Structure 1
Amino acid sequence: MRRTSVIASLAALSLAATLTACGADDTPDEGTGPDATPTEGAAGDGTSDDGDTLVIYSGRNENLVAPVLEELEAAVGIPVEVRYAGTSELAAQLLEEGSATDADLFFGQDAGALGALARADMLVELDRTVTDLVPEVYRDGGDRWVATSGRVRVLAYDPEQVPDVESLTTIDDVLAPGLEGQVGFAPANASFHAFVTGLRVARGEEGAREWLEAFAASSPEGYENNNAVLDAVDGGQVAVGLINHYYYFQKVAELGQDAVSARIHYLEPGDPGSLVNVAGAGVVAGTDNRTAAHAALEFLLSAETQQYFADTTAEYPVVEGVTSTTFDLPDLADVAENQIDLNDLDSLDQTLVMLDEVGLT
């Protein structure tokens, strides 16, 4: 296995440590499971002990993806071993293990972590038969990882307080004087950090700082997580909240539409406020199970698995032709359009510094 650049590895490891320190999002797919512990033996050969097992490092929560990964074994033709932990924790572990890792596939909930591993040469170039299944915007430009599902930033809003919500078309509109003190957000939440990172990428450091300073001056209300933001909007405590789309759909599915007063509004496609972040996967460099690893990716992108994500968690499928039969999701192409390289979401450390400097931590 080719050894990674020491500088690149240290930079990516620093990022992963920062991600772990700041905490993950509060959604089921962004939590942490049991600690991932390296298997003894076979160090350096890119396999597990017996050399015939596909080892997956999964940053997606066991409760969410275990049904999918249990079906994976039949698809790849060899036994599958899954090690669960936080995405950032596992990314850091991979970088520490380097060529000694026995991981074959990395399955993470955040494009930033995938980008960090790709830039550290820990992920190999994938076959086009895999990458061509996913639109170009939702895969690495070097074909080192592909998205498996997506989520969109939206505005939750109280219809009574914001009857003219259609006038809100960009993230700048939440800075309007009429919304001063009426916007909820989750300052310590990973999804908010990813939004700000995307803002920095899209508008540059100066443009992002200008927006953040104006946002801070508008006296937004901070909450612990996205669910709390949505609850505050639903209860009329704030008029608008910055969240991911699936919180709303899950709340409606749990309580029923009549029991939820809040609604959600998608900003203009391509606006930083409608950022699409993704869960995704890549094949770990040095694996001796490359064929099985690619088969695993094909399974994650199969119509069956895409339907699972669409119907179980209200995530957006990334393969054309799959739509949710459970949730009334608008077509992703109609509501969102990324204009940034999702790999660039790995610059979270700079985001945290900027948030602290403008007083939004």
Structure 2
Amino acid sequence: MPRILLLLLAVPLLAFAVAACGDDGPSEDALVVYSGRNEDLVGPLIERFEQETGIETEVKYADSPELAATIIEEGDASPADAFFSQDAGALGALQSESLLGKLPAATLDKVPEAFRSAKGDWVGTSARARVIAYDKRELQPDDLPASVLDLTDEEWKGRIAWAPTNASFQSFVTAMRAELGEEQTKAWLEGMLANDVQPYENNIAIRDAIAKGEIDAGLLNHYYVAEAIAEEGKDYPVGIYEPGDGDIGALVNVAGVGILASANQQEKAQRFVDFLLTDASQEYFADELKEYPVVPGVEADPSLQPLDEIEQPDIDLNQLDDLQGTVELLQQTGVL
């Protein structure tokens, strides 16, 4: 099966129906951004970019795997100038196809090496931790397993949720493949299915299902719960649990951005990338979205466990580029 079809099968087939900001498409001089980040989350920040720079910006929003697949099919004819991804894996998939251009050292050096492309093709904009979100009315942290791998145990049958079409979940599975190997990852996926894991559309749906008491726990990114706690107060019924000892369930990934090698608006795209790495933008990620800033000197929300205290696995984010292999495995096991 062609690579692009494998990528598209990972998510609902909306890649070719992504809504642009205007019915007639972007104007000739507009910066075109494909955003795998949700409009509700980053729309205000992109509006701020337009206001501060005067650069007209057209944004297409969809899931990161969809947009990566679209760009791969469009190739050098893609109208996109920049790709703002939910995770490193989708950026790595474009890098593997040589579709991203090199970023200047001055941009890359704003971010620690762990949060950027080793080849210089993309840079992280904010970090997030994979967690087990849980119902605080039913569970305590001591009730949760030491490893995400233990969620296949009988006691968790029908009690766990995941979002298999989500970009962050697919990157998590890719990281598991890199860390534990293909066979152990396959066994875990099959074990979760046998244990009646409950599929949901996205991380927000999982969080809300836990809050409503529909499910006991789920796999998602930390900030979805942190945002809700900030809005609803400390009595919000969903908690965050991070496995220790370098467990793959505590993977720290990044949202990130790259400039297409074929971009028509290279200079404007570069200004967009640099804007996302300003202190003001990093503070937006930290304060408004409860993500971890990646530019040194900008503080994370104090309610979060400090990033350097998370016992995360030793995973190089550059290893997360094999989206095709992950999709094949998810299809093979029946997860997709």
Q: Which range, TM-score by smaller chain?
A: 0.7 to 0.9
Distance 2:125 2:112 in 1: 11
Superposition TM-score, scaled by structure 1 size? 0.78
User: In structure 2, what is the equivalent of residue 17 of structure 1?
Assistant: 8
Among 172, 180, 188, the residue aligned to 1:211: 188
Superposition TM-score, scaled by structure 2 size? 0.83
Q: Contact 2:6 / 2:328 at 8 angstroms: preserved in 1?
A: no
Q: Contact 1:23 / 1:190 at 8 angstroms: preserved in 2?
A: no
Distance 1:166 1:319 in 2: 35
User: In structure 1, what is the equivalent of residue 28 of structure 2?
Assistant: 49
Q: Which residue identity is paired with 2:19?
A: P
User: In structure 1, what is the equivalent of residue 277 of structure 2?
Assistant: 301
Q: Which residue identity is paired with 2:28?
A: D
Q: Residues 28-60 of structure 1: CA distance to partner in whole angstroms, max 9, x if unpaired?
A: xxxx9623789889xxxxxx735xx54433333
Q: How does 1:249-328 map to 2 (within 5 A)?
A: 249-258=226-235, 260-268=236-244, 270-287=246-263, 289-325=265-301, 328=303
Distance 1:22 1:197 in 2: 21
Distance 2:66 2:201 in 1: 22
User: Structure 1 residues 57, 269: closer, same or farther in 2, change over 3 A?
Assistant: farther
Q: Residues 192-243 of structure 1: CA distance to partner in whole angstroms, max 9, x if unpaired?
A: 3332222122211111112223333333344444334334444555443222
Q: Contact 2:93 / 2:321 at 8 angstroms: preserved in 1?
A: yes
Segments of structure 1 that go 5 or more residues without pairing to the other structure are 1-9, 25-31, 42-47
Q: How does 1:31-180 map to 2 (within 5 A)?
A: 34-35=19-20, 49-50=28-29, 53-73=30-50, 79-86=55-62, 87-159=64-136, 161-163=138-140, 165=142, 168-180=145-157
Distance 2:151 2:9 in 1: 29
The range that moved more, 264-273 or 221-230, is 221-230
Q: Which residue identity is paired with 1:254?
A: E
User: Structure 1 residues 122, 356: closer, same or farther in 2, change over 3 A?
Assistant: closer
Deviation at 1:310, TM superposition (A): 1.5
Deviation at 1:324, TM superposition (A): 4.1
Deviation at 1:144, TM superposition (A): 0.2
Q: Which residue identity is paired with 2:193?
A: A
Q: Which residue identity is paired with 1:194?
A: S
Deviation at 1:101, TM superposition (A): 3.9
Q: Contact 2:10 / 2:165 at 8 angstroms: preserved in 1?
A: no
Q: Contact 1:154 / 1:243 at 8 angstroms: preserved in 2?
A: yes
Q: Contact 1:33 / 1:62 at 8 angstroms: preserved in 2?
A: no
Among 160, 168, 172, the residue aligned to 1:183: 160
Deviation at 1:172, TM superposition (A): 2.3
Q: Contact 2:161 / 2:219 at 8 angstroms: preserved in 1?
A: yes
Sequence identity, in percent?
Answer: 40
Deviation at 1:114, TM superposition (A): 1.0
Segments of structure 2 that go 5 or more residues without pairing to the other structure are none
User: In structure 2, what is the equivalent of residue 330 of structure 1?
Assistant: 305
User: Structure 1 residues 83, 221: closer, same or farther in 2, change over 3 A?
Assistant: closer
Q: Residues 52-81 of structure 1: CA distance to partner in whole angstroms, max 9, x if unpaired?
A: x544333333443233223324665x6333
Asked if residue 340 in structure 1 is aligned to residue 326 in structure 2, the reply is no
Distance 2:5 2:110 in 1: 32
CA RMSD across the alignment: 3.3
Distance 1:162 1:225 in 2: 22
User: Structure 1 residues 74, 40: closer, same or farther in 2, change over 3 A?
Assistant: closer
